[in-house]
A and B are shown apart, each in its own frame.
Chain A
């Protein structure tokens, strides 16, 4: 049974709330502690990117199934400038700001499935999956 909620992402404290809700969802589908920590960390990275570089947006959090396995799905969207060169943005250490450049590339390693939909001037939507 899918359970969906939409969380705002307009200020720093929203990142904390998103982390807490993702943790709850991960616990409720009974992910192991390491998987929980990974999806919460990835959510934190991507949410912060959306806030800092995308000017905020929202996070859709879903408890669902994937290939018959209990899963958490996150869709983090912003209406920012978008990413012109996705391939470059996915490289470890590449940053357009003053971060470490690990947000996108690092988060991809933490989840089971990662997809990114963005283009210059069109905002960014990032989908993250973690299943049991």
Chain B
């Protein structure tokens, strides 16, 4: 059993793919690790691939909501991609709606959506501040 889920940095985004059946502590560790990485890399977006997850129970659902909320406060967008149909059906019947979490069918669509969410956010920021957004700072290293 893996004891850490790798988080990859790609430009202004962070990518992670959950490939293991997570025990609860692993999910909590991921939540914390991701929060640190968002701050450290000044990430503007996070893509979470759950296509390998065979179930999402209320604990994992709560973890995803928590990640989305914390990220929002840290000014990063989150998108969850690749949920299996049986998982989606089960989630709804369980009573979890994953409100406030953006989703996409696959990584490609998710990435495009994430890019447009961030771009939209930046254009609003430009209007508000009346100056160009400093993209060079966030695209660093």
Contact = CB atoms under 8 A, between A and B. Distances in A.
Interface of A: 12-13, 15-16, 19-20, 23, 33-34, 36-38, 40-41, 44-45, 48, 92, 99-100, 102-103, 105-107, 109-110
B94 A41 contact: yes
B122 to A, nearest CB: 34
B25 A110 contact: no
Contact of B86 (A16, A36, A92): A36
A44 B90 contact: no
Interface stretch (B42-50, B53-61, B71-79, B112-120): B53-61
Interface of A is mostly: helix
Nearest to A35: B86
A16 B58 contact: no
A41 B90 CA distance: 8
Contacts, number: 71
B33 interface: no
A27 to B, nearest CB: 11
Interface of B is mostly: helix
A105 B21 CA distance: 24
Given A33-B86, A34-B89, A109-B93, A41 B55 contact: yes
Interface string B93-130: 11110000000000000000000000000000000000
A103 B58 contact: yes
17 contacts: A19-B21, A36-B86, A37-B89, A38-B93, A41-B90, A41-B94, A45-B57, A48-B24, A48-B57, A92-B95, A99-B62, A100-B58, A102-B94, A103-B58, A106-B58, A107-B94, A109-B94
B23 interface: yes
B58 A102 contact: yes
Nearest to B28: A12
